[in-house]
Amino acid sequence: MNQRFYNEKFAIIGMSCRFPQASNIDEYYTLLLKGKNAVTDFPETRRKLLGLSKDEVSNIKGGFIDDIELFDPEYFGINQQEAKAIDPQHRLILELVVDALTSAGLTAQTTKKSTVGVFMGSGDSEYQSLISIHKNMKTQTIIGASTCMLANRVSYHFNLHGPSLSINTSCSSSLTALHYACMSLKNKESDIAIVGGSNMLLIPKVTYALAKTEGFISQRGICKVFDKSSDGYVRSEGAGVVIIKRLDKAIENNDQIDAVICGSAVNNDGATNGIVAPSYRAQTEVIKKTLLRNIKKITKSYLSISTKEDLMLTELGIESLQVIEIKTAIEEELNIEIPLAYLLQSPKISIIIEKISSLLINVVK
């Protein structure tokens, strides 16, 4: 066996998720198969939970997950007072880590004997801002809603001693976390890596503020990827967790392998015509770097596109250029021809933008 070949590939051995209208992997699969649209008006139960008036949530559309207030603190050894101070994003990740570890067939004894790293895509805490607005800030709240705690609380609860990182690169946070988890496994800092990301929308005023920029937020509540009629994107909630190992170790342990990560790379767009505008050339380069890492042959493939698809990008033709450039790059590097239809795979047409967890939604798919 070519040990280097296996050492530089990584197996996904467990998964869990909570997306709009999909509370687990099976429901997410069904949602995609049926092509359902998960965008809704601001939930009435959420409005009442947050004590908002109907005017404060009028015309707000998005992808919302159910029952964010439900949590069993006793299961995690957390008292009621502390549980109230913990950001719901963090509580949800704790639950999903349990599900993902169960999916991977891992127990407390297994993780105790291994060096387990935790890598989380983390963004701003709307919960902390919400608490601040109501002047209920306490030490527990500051700690409970701190972005670093998204990863650290997982390590703390499960008594894990590997690297524990919360990574914020905005929309690419969870996939960047996945990349650095792979690097940690490759460098043998970790034997097992828990990777995830979570996003929740708790302050409608944030959506209204973004909507003030023309073409940023869709007024129709529809994300029309690669369509000239696009008028912006739709914000959404969601969370996902995957468990990964070096491929050789997963094979050696007879783990169930859901998928294999053959390569990954990270770069930055650099200077573009706007700080939120992408560079399709830079994105093509990072695709090339990824392809050069252990990906020598593809017999059947598609590219799952992650795009914000706002009006500015559509008018500039950036998204269309991005697809063609990436298609060309893949074909040149691997000496294959990929039908354009294989490239246009985006779950965001149904689920829309989860921001922090948005790229992990493609991995789970």
In tens, the pLDDT along 173-202 reads: 998 999 999 999 999 999 999 999 999 998
**What pLDDT is stored for residue 262 in this prediction?**
87
pLDDT of residue 322: 58
Quote the mean pLDDT of the chain: 81
Q: What is the pLDDT of residue 94?
A: 97
Mean pLDDT within 12-36:
90
- Can you tell me the distance from the alpha carbon of 51 to that of 86, in angstroms, rounded to the nearest whole number? 19
User: Is the pLDDT at 352 greater than 50, yes or no?
Assistant: no
Reply yes or no on whether the pLDDT at 213 is more than 50.
yes
**Between 12 and 139, whose confidence is greater?**
12
Higher pLDDT, 307 or 152: 152
Query: What CATH fold (topology level) applies to the domain 3-218+232-264+347-364?
Result: Peroxisomal Thiolase; Chain A, domain 1 (3.40.47)
For the chain, give the secondary structure using H, E and C.
CCHHHHHCCEEEEEEEEEECCECCHHHHHHHHHHCCCCCEECCHHHHHHCCCCCHHHCCCEEECCCCCCCCCHHHHCCCHHHHHHCCHHHHHHHHHHHHHHHHCCCCHHHHHCCCEEEEEECCCCHHHHHHHHCCCCCHHHHHHCCCCHHHHHHHHHCCCCCCEEEECCHHHHHHHHHHHHHHHHHCCCCCEEEEEEEECCCCHHHHHHHHCCCCCECCCCCCCCCCCCCCCECEECEEEEEEEEEHHHHHHCCCCCCEEECCCCCCCCCCCCCCCCCCHHHHHHHHHHHHCCCCCCCCCCCCECCCCCCHHHHHHCHHHHHHHHHHHHHHHHHCCCCCHHHHCECCHHHHCECHHHCCHHHHHC
Q: Residues 254-285: pLDDT tens digits?
A: 999 999 998 888 999 899 888 877 777 787 78
Q: What percent of the chain has pLDDT over 90?
A: 39
Mean pLDDT of 1-30: 83
Residue 350 — pLDDT band, cuts 50, 70, 90? very low
Cα 100 from Cα 239, distance rounded (Å): 12
Summarised one tens digit per residue, pLDDT across range 91-117 is: 999 999 999 999 999 988 889 889 999
Q: Where are the domains of the chain?
A: 3-218+232-264+347-364
Residue 123, pLDDT score: 80
Segment 278-318, tens digit of pLDDT: 777 787 788 778 777 666 555 555 566 655 544 443 443 44
* pLDDT on residue 160: 96
* CA atoms of 186 and 12, how far apart (whole Å): 14
Taking each helix axis as running N to C, give the angle between helix 88-103 and helix 149-157, from 0 to 180 degrees, rounded to the nearest 10: 50
- Note whether 236 and 360 are within 8 A (CB): no
What is residue 310's predicted lDDT score, i.e. its pLDDT?
44
Say which residue, 251 or 225, is predicted with more confidence: 251
